[in-house]
Structures are given as C-alpha cells and as structure tokens.
C-alpha cells in the first residue's frame, strides 16, 4: 500500500462508494457531507444532495457548518422548508440518509438522546433532530462511526432512531414504511450489513489491514461473521487527491482522523 | 386487534381548534404599523410562563436581539419548541428562562459541539421534556397552521422517541395501516427574524424557510425582527415572495445584524469565533457569569452587544464571508 | 327618493355595508367582488379581500373574470395556493364569505350541484367549488341573490353547502367549527338573518319600497317575520357614485340589475 | 357513540402509500434533459384509462396545448380531478375523453356561464362522479404530496357533498371532535403549464400556485409545458423561486402562449371573445363539430390553433391587456 490515509479518509471514501449515480441522499455536516461531495466528484455526478433544514442540490462552495447555513442553498435547485424535505422522504423519493449516534445496537437502532435514566439523565444528548425521521422515511440508512464496544452495545439506553427495532419484521409491524431500514454501517474496522431474516448486524467487508477478530473485539454485541465476506479496496490515489484537495482542503473533517 | 399506543409525554399547548379559532378571529387585521422596540415587544408580548417558538434554525436566521432581551428582562418559566434549537437554546438556558420543552434537537450546536451549560440545565431534572423528531415538530406546527388538531405521519413509530412523546398511534381510516398522529402545536408567541419586512409585518425571507411560515400561523402572537424595513410597495411588487402576511404579526422591529452571531442567508455568515468563545466560557462558572454580564446583562440594547464584539468592522468581515464564499 | 338605482345596485350596496373595517372576506367574481370593492372605498378601507384560488389583498385594477385571474394578485400582499387560503379559513382568520346558489332553504343550506336525481340529474350545476369550504370554515356566510319561490325552497335537491343543516345545533353536531354559520341573506326584497334558537330564516330589514307581504310571497318556505324589523336605508348618492364610477364603470355587474 | 359515516362515492386512484413510495423510488432522478414535443409527451405518458390532474385554475395557466393533443389523439376513459375545471373540462368533454371525475367545480366557466356540452356529458349518466369541495381536492393532493394516506379537515361535514364523496368521518384522537378524513389523491399524470422551466424540469410560476406544487408531487408522471425554457443557472440564481423540482418531471415542452385562450399571469390575459365563441357554438351541434374540426382536429399543432385565432397580432393584444390593466 503505497498511499497513506487515516481512518476518517477511509470511512469517507467507503461511504462515497455507496452512493450510486442518480441517487438522492440527505446529509448532515461533517463526514456525510464530505462523502456525498466526494461521490459527486468521482462516480456519481448525478447525486442529488439534500439538507433536512431545506437546502436542495446546492453547488457546495465549502463544507457547511450547520445543515441550515447559507452554503446548503448556494446555487441550489430549491430553498424550502424542513417539512418539505421530510415529506420528500415520506413520499419515497429519497434513497439514503447518513446517521451517527452515541450508541448503536445489533439491529441498527441508534441512541442520541440520553445515557442513564430518561428523567434524571447521566448525559443528555441533543435527541433525534431529524435522525428518527430520516431513518424512518428514507429507503436506506447508512451509519458512519468509529467502532468501539461502548458504542456498539445491546444495552442501548434509549432508541432514538429506528433500526430494525427488535429484529425480524418488527420494523414493518411498527408501521414504518415497507422496504426501508438500516443498510450499511461503515466503521474504521469494516463494513456491516444486516441479515435478511433476523436483521442482526453482519460483516460484509473488512477494511484494509484489519483481521476478522477485530470485528467482535470492538463490539459489545456479537456481529455475525458469514462464511464469505469481502475486503474493502483501499482509497485510490485519485479518491484521496479529490478528498484532500477539493472536498476538504482545510482538513476540517479529515483532520480529525 | 392490537392496542394502539400513546406516548407518555405531556402536551404543553392549547389543543382545541375552536378555542384557537376564537383567538384568531379577534386578532386585529387592519393594515396598521406595528413598529416598536425590542424592549417594548418583549415586555408587551412575552409573559412569564408563555410558550415560545423561535424562528430560523438554531444558529441561522435567529432573532438574537429578542432572545437577549428575554434574558435581560428575566422572563421565567417559559416553554419552548426545540426544533433544532442550538444557539437560541443556549441563550435561553443561560438565562434559566424555561421550565418545559418540546425537544427534537437541544443542547448541541451541530458540528460545533455541545453546550455544557444547556446540558446542565437539562440534566438537572427541573425541565419537563417531551421528545419529538424534527419532522414531528414541523408537522405539529403545520397542523396548527392548517387549523386541524392533528396530522398523520409515518415517523417515530416503534421507538423510545415515540414512547416519550405525546404522539398517538392511529389506524388509517382508509387503508387500516398504522400511523402516528401528531397533535397541533400552538405557541403563545413566535419570534422570527427575517430579511425584509414592511411596518405592517409582511415579511420576505431569503434562503430556507425552515418552519417559519407555519410557526407564524400557529402562534397566538408574532414578533418579527428584520434586517431592514422596506416599503409596502416593495411587498406588493412581488406578492409571490411574501412568506408571513401582516395579519399574523403583532410587532415589527428593524434590527440590522439581528441574527448575529448566527448566519443570515444573503447577508452575513456566522461568527464562529464568538460561538466557540461562548462554548468555551461555559466550562468555567466564573468566566461564564462575566461573559453573560458583558454580552447581555450590561448591554442596554443589541447594538451594544454588536459593538462589544467587533462592531462595524466585524460585521463587514462576516458580510464578506457570506458574499464571497 | 331622489336617486334612481336598480336591484343589483341596491343589493351590492347593502352587502358592502355588512363588511366592517378590519374584516377579512373571501369573495368570488361579480356581486361579492363589487360589494367588497365598494366597502373598501367607503367605510372599510382596511377590508382584506381574499380569492380562494390564492390571491390575497390585491389592489383590484378591474373586476376579475375568474377568481384565479391575474387581477386577483395585482399589487397584492401575497400570491399563494388554494390550500393556503382554505387553511386561513379553517384556522379562523376569515370573517366573511359570499355565496349564491340555485336553491336555498330555510336553514340557509345551498344547492349548486344538481336538480333532480343525483345519478341522472335533470340539471347538473358546477358543484361546491369552494362554497362548501367557505361556508363551513369562515365565521359568517353572506348570501346575495334575487328572491323567488323557486330559489327559496325547502325542497332543496342537494345540500351542496351547509347552512344550519336541519336547524338548532345540527351544524355544530355535524362537526363544523363552533360559532360559524349563515349570517345574512340579501335579496331584492329584504335582508334576512336566522333565529337564534331554531336557526330558521327571519326578516331583519325590508328594502326601500317593499312591504312585508312581499317577503313570503316570494319564498317557497315561510320566512319568520319578527315583531320588530328595520328598513334598509336606500343607497346614498355617494355610494352610487363610487359604485358606478369607480367600482364597475363598465357596468359589467350593475348592468345586469 | 354515534356511528361515523362514510361517503358513498368511489375512490378512483391508488391509496396505498407504500405502493406509491415504490413508484417514486424508481423514478429517474438524474439531471437529464426531458425536452420533447407535445405530441410525443401525450403519446408516451398518457394512456387510455389514466387519471389526470390539470394544473392552473380552469381558465388560468392551463396547459391548453396538451389538452388539445389529448383530444386529437382520441384518448379515452380518462379520469380527472375537477378542481375548478372550467375551460379544461370543456375541452376534454368536447373530445369525450373521460368516464370518471372527482368533481369540485365542473361544467361551468365561472362568470362566463355554463358549458352546454360539458353539462350534456355529465347529465348523460355515463360519467362516474365523486363529489368534493375545492379545499377537499387541494388537501387530497397535499396528503399525496406529503406521503400520507389521508389528511383531516373540518369541511364538507353534514352535507350531501360529503354524502356523495368518498370521505369518512373520524374522531380526533386527541380532542374527540368529529373531523373529515380525506384520502390521498395520486393521479397517474399531471399536466402543468408554467412561466419558466429549465430542460430538466425545474419550474418557476408567477402569480398564484393553485395546487400545482402538490399536484406535481402527488402524480406518478408529470408533463410540463412552459412559456419559455430558461438556463439551469437562472434556476440556481433564485432557488427560493423553484416550485416544481426536476426529479418529479418526465417531459418538458416549450409552448409560448401555451395557456391561450386562458390567462397567463404576467404574460397575457384571457381571450374572452374566443371563450364566448366556444360557449356559443355549443348551442348548435353542427357549428360545434365544425368549430372543433377547425380549432383542434385539423390543427397539426398548437401554433396552428394560435394562428387561426389571430396569431401574433392577437397575442400582442392579450399581452397588452395583461400588462396595462
């Protein structure tokens, strides 16, 4: 491997590869936005980027600091309301959303509300924001986060945002739109999907330089290891060049890796 | 048939459409000037215990001057909707102004990090919180704006966000499918900062609207701050651009740079240094008290706050940041 | 009576006097629009005029031909959607609407849908349009129409638009907003209101030159005649001058009288 | 508890939100040119039996060129939403193109009078009609646009309009009050005329929107005719002005004077003479047949129709009427 890159650069690159041309994605600030920009500048020029606060398909001049700041509508196709973006999601027009969270469980449920008792929380986090909506209403939820046993836990304190809930058909039975749900979890160790029947997290691909033991050593629950799984191709020089020179020249995001 | 669930959260605001209709019937709908001062508007239209909705998006197009005045006048026991409440929530938390909150996004400042002080307030157990998502709060405002007591949606189902909300599961009367019913949210007061307004309260907004069209319609009273006052003829020359019409509005105040330190689309970018300073002083109780004294309590008005943070030269820089991104 | 005027001019003038300053009214083309314009130019400069298709508070340069034509937004305050106008009504912001109809019954119910059997109608009319909505959702419904026993009938073929339905509390029990309902019927003979208890039509004022017998001779149902009722003041010269010179100089509406 | 009523009318369109989600998922969302011809668009996107929604307001901002082409191509058994359908309804009735209708306002031309032919069609008993009000149809489109199977409202209750609709009475899950539930309306095709669009289908509309923002979102396919094609950069210079975004749109055709003889806000006024002529010839079967032959069947395209009715000189007059009211 001739080219050096950090975990943040790796995760952004993998995430970008998951956004096919012609797709519609709702992104937040940071990693998701960087991944979407990288995708647009590589294999997916026709990727439509939305921001939940109302920005539609801007020509992003720089990384937004807020999902509602003026960069999110710069030379955009539409500047609208949060309700209209959410209604697009509800109507089935949006393929992907990108989320993170303080905790994630084996069914892809996310916690960004509280650690500890709800009424006397040890730690209060922001709450759902748009996460619950995007995960409920877009077709596929992508999660990007570094992996640790504390974050990957079945002792999730609060289900802020739905994954497959209790697994199996639970999600659809709860009334959430058919055919939606968690799709990929992209970490510094590997890329995970969900078992078609049980809806529990399972390995899809290992990151370069990782061994399969890393997967469950860094998870509080058991991630299924199928007989066959792939290896992530390392970021190409071209991907890294565009990411570093065009997407995030000030290293606001990739500098954290 | 399985039992339909109800969230355990509290509804903080008026639910009855007929009561709200009576309220709106009696609003003054004459085309009269509503120009006033921030001080007067806060004193006249915001009472202790009121439930307020704040326009914009936390750190974008926020009515900072009114938020500071609320703190300065020591308003207490407010309720508010935390529909991506970031710096606005942080200001109100600094003044310990509220005791209940419909929360979708609170205590954080998006990519900038979390507000230590706002978290402390919410972790104290003294604040009643009902959980929602961003879309849920948007649609709650929309229900109120439409004059119906609820709207159906397909979000929040199956999660703890629902469990701690005040939503209800219902079955679609046509398809039988499970849906979420969201109760209308009628705030007592909306406070919204806009790009341009005439003295009657007709408002134009550049960039995203967030939920401010619906918030203005949902609220009993509406306070508008505006970057500039324009002539009514300008409104009439482009009626497609009016987002908030005059009959909803109770007070109009011209406050240039009124979203500072937030971003104002088309006008100026956010002052990230000042926002980071604010986050940083929250780590030290003494510095935080001094900071609030300097930036809010000792200021006789919003201009003084702007002057203390770089004045015209700083505003010029933020304008350039916005215009030449 | 030194000044001559026709029935159309009389009805428009009476209607205009019912629109107090500061009120909000949804109007259609023709008589309602003329009445609202006359009101604005006389005692109610602060009358806000709405058109159901989306026009808000225009400076009307001429009589609109359609409630959606470009005159309805000329120098207006807002140009919006039909849904938004209807939602304003539903929210309780709109004081008055003006309606007509092929038939009206004693409780102010209106028919503008069919004469005869619904499935094989003798005559098909346009249907509700916005009439049902405006009568359901604004506070007070004004009806302006010439009076005849055929039009004023209890054998109404189809209740397109709600008055007090079957009278008494029926309207509120049906779920329509509290405190709303028919307010005045303005005809060439008189001005009618509704009894507070039974909600049946009753005389409020007689038009100039009319006698009380004219009321029920021109109605298919019995209009209540209370012990006391008033007399309509004839149009003033000033009202007629403004109506003829400023509101409808081409005599498009008043020419029909 | 008293029994809640259901209207006896038929629902003509898809109700299931999940089926519609699948449809919208598979729409092509690439920014590609959709320019085509009226002939091609009608042939490709409108099939016999389809349910169509027509933008504008009957005689204002209507897609006349497409309506004529539907008649010319002899489309049959269409359904349509009569959401103030005036001249548009009259054209489709002339071609005997439909067999079912969601009716709020049909057969009339507002102040101009009633269409004798359209009435004859509706009085024949051959057309299935479900009754609604204007607001009801607006909200049915809005429900579809929002991706929910119904919306609650407070209109139509207690009347025969309700009785012959397909609405349902429901009780509010929060207040217990009676409400009307309106089922989402998802047309197969929307046909909308706009002031400006780029080749991708991003559309700007001057004046009232009526329900076209929601109709575009509610429909499976969308055909746009536009007074003029503009560059995508013009769209991007004012993103607040985009009413219909490209991903909803399947076909874009530049048709100057495309709303003629209807009014086009900001462009030209209606041709009242021609509309009155149309109403008048309907009184005489023979003259009506000749009139349709001349104005629709024998025209190879919309320009020929314009030329036969005064061409450039007439258009100039209608422009002046609009601009100097």
pLDDT at D325: 67
The arrangement of strands across the sheet holding A24-26 comes to A78-79, A55-56, A48-50, A24-26, A96-99, A140-144, A181-186, A190-194, A201-206, A230-231
Cβ pair C91:B22 closer than 8 A:
no
Cβ pair B28:C22 closer than 8 A:
yes
Render pLDDT for C24-82 as a digit per residue (tens, 0 to 9): 999 998 999 999 999 999 999 999 999 999 999 999 988 899 999 999 999 999 999 99
Tell me the average pLDDT across D264-279.
98
pLDDT at B183: 98
Render pLDDT for A17-26 as a digit per residue (tens, 0 to 9): 999 999 999 9
Average per-residue pLDDT for chain A: 96
Render pLDDT for D74-95 as a digit per residue (tens, 0 to 9): 999 999 999 899 999 999 999 9
pLDDT at A1: 45
| Touch criterion met for C and A (3+ Cβ pairs within 8 Å) | no
Per CB-CB distance under 8 Å, the chain B contacts of A104 are: none
pLDDT at D324: 76
* Residue carrying the six token digits 């009589």: C63
Domain assignment present for residue D160? The answer is no
Domain assignment present for residue D144? The answer is no
Cβ pair C90:D161 closer than 8 A:
no
What's the domain range around D86? 3-134+186-324
Confidence of residue C1 (pLDDT cuts 50, 70, 90): very low
CATH architecture of A98-226: 3-Layer(aba) Sandwich (3.40)
Q: Is C52 a catalytic residue?
A: yes
pLDDT at D1: 44
- Write out the H or E segment, with its range, that includes residue C191: strand C190-194
Half-sphere exposure of residue B7, counting CA atoms within 13 Å on the CB side? Answer: 25
pLDDT at residue A170 tops 50: yes
- Write out the H or E segment, with its range, that includes residue D129: strand D128-131
Domain assignment present for residue D176? The answer is no
> How far apart, in whole angstroms, are the C-alpha atoms of residue D14 and residue D244?
22
**Interacting residues of C196 by C-beta distance below 8 A, sequence separation 6+:** none
Report the number of distinct structural domains present in chain B. 1
pLDDT at residue D3 tops 90: no
> Which residues of chain B fall short of a pLDDT of 50?
1
Residue B43 near residue B74 (C-beta atoms within 8 A): no
Best residue of D21, D149, D214 to probe chain B, by most B CBs closer than 10 Å: D149
- CB-nearest to D158 from C68, C126, C170 is C170
> How far apart, in whole angstroms, are the C-alpha atoms of residue D143 and residue D200?
26
Q: Is A130 exposed, middle or buried (0-12, 13-18, 19+ CB in 10 A)?
A: buried
The CATH code of the domain that includes D303 is 3.40.1080.10
Residues of chain A with CATH 3.40.1080.10: 1-94+233-257, 98-226
Q: Is the peptide bond before D5 cis (omega within 30 degrees of 0)?
A: no
Q: Which of A9, A20, A52, A237 is catalytic?
A: A52
> How far apart, in whole angstroms, are the C-alpha atoms of residue B305 and residue B310?
9
Q: Is the peptide bond before C130 cis (omega within 30 degrees of 0)?
A: no
Distances (CA, A) of C208 to A182, A216, C219, D42, D73: 76, 94, 18, 59, 59
Per CB-CB distance under 8 Å, the chain A contacts of B156 are: 128, 132-133, 136
pLDDT at A101: 80
Q: Is D73 exposed, middle or buried (0-12, 13-18, 19+ CB in 10 A)?
A: middle
pLDDT at residue D26 tops 90: yes
Residue B241 near residue B213 (C-beta atoms within 8 A): no
Distance to chain B for D319, nearest Cα, Å: 19
> How far apart, in whole angstroms, are the C-alpha atoms of residue B282 and residue D55?
55
CATH architecture of A1-94+233-257: 3-Layer(aba) Sandwich (3.40)
């Amino acid at each position: 491997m001739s080219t050096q890159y950090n975990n943040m650069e790796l995760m952004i690159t993998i995430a970008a590869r998951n956004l096919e041309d012609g797709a519609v994605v709702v992104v937040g600030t940071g990693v998701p936005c960087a991944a979407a920009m990288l995708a647009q500048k590589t294999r997916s020029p026709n990727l439509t980027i939305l921001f939940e606060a109302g920005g539609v398909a801007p020509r992003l001049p720089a990384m937004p600091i807020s999902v509602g700041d003026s960069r999110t509508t710069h030379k955009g196709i539409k500047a609208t309301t949060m309700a209209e973006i959410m209604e697009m999601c509800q109507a089935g027009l949006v393929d992907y959303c990108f989320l993170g969270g303080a905790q994630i469980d084996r069914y892809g449920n996310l916690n960004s509300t509280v650690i500890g008792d709800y009424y006397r929380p040890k730690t209060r986090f922001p709450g759902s924001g748009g996460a619950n909506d995007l995960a409920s209403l877009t077709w596929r939820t992508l999660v990007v986060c570094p992996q640790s046993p504390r974050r990957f836990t079945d002792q999730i304190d609060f289900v802020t945002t739905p994954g497959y809930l209790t697994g199996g058909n639970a999600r659809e039975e709860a009334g959430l739109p058919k055919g939606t749900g968690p799709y990929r979890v992209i970490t510094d160790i590997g890329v995970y999907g969900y078992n078609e029947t049980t809806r529990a997290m399972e390995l899809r691909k290992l990151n370069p330089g990782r061994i399969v033991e890393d997967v469950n050593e860094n998870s509080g629950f058991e991630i299924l290891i199928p007989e066959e799984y792939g290896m992530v191709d390392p970021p190409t020089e071209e991907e890294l060049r565009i990411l570093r020179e065009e997407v995030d020249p000030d290293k606001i995001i990739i500098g954290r890796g | 048939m399985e039992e339909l669930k109800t969230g355990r959260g509290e509804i903080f605001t008026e639910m009855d459409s007929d009561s709200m209709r009576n309220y709106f019937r009696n609003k003054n709908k004459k085309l009269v000037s509503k120009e006033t001062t921030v001080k007067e508007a806060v004193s006249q239209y915001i009472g202790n215990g009121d439930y307020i909705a704040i326009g914009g998006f936390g750190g974008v197009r926020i009515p900072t001057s009114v938020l500071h005045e609320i703190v300065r006048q020591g308003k207490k026991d407010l309720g508010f909707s935390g529909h991506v409440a970031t710096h606005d929530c942080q200001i109100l938390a600094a003044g310990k102004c509220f005791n209940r909150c419909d929360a979708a996004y609170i205590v954080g400042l998006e990519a900038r990090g979390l507000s230590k002080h706002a978290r402390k307030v919410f972790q104290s157990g003294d604040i009643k919180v009902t959980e929602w998502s961003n879309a849920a709060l948007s649609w709650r405002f929309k229900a109120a704006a439409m004059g119906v007591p609820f709207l159906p949606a397909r979000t929040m189902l199956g999660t703890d966000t629902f469990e701690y909300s005040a939503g209800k599961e219902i079955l679609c009367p046509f398809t039988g499918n499970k849906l979420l019913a969201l109760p209308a949210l009628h705030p007592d007061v909306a406070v919204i900062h806009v790009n341009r307004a005439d003295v009657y309260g007709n408002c134009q907004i550049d960039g995203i609207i967030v939920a401010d069209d619906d918030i203005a319609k949902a609220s009993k009273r509406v306070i508008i701050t505006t970057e500039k006052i324009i002539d009514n003829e300008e409104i009439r020359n482009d009626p497609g651009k009016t987002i908030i019409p005059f009959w909803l509005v109770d007070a109009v105040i011209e406050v240039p740079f009124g979203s500072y330190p937030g971003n104002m689309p088309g006008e100026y970018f956010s002052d990230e240094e000042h926002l980071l300073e604010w986050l940083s002083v929250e780590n030290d109780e003494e510095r935080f008290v001094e900071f609030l004294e300097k930036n809010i309590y000792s200021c006789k008005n919003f201009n003084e706050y702007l002057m203390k943070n770089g004045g015209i030269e700083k505003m010029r820089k933020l304008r350039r940041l916005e215009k030449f991104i």
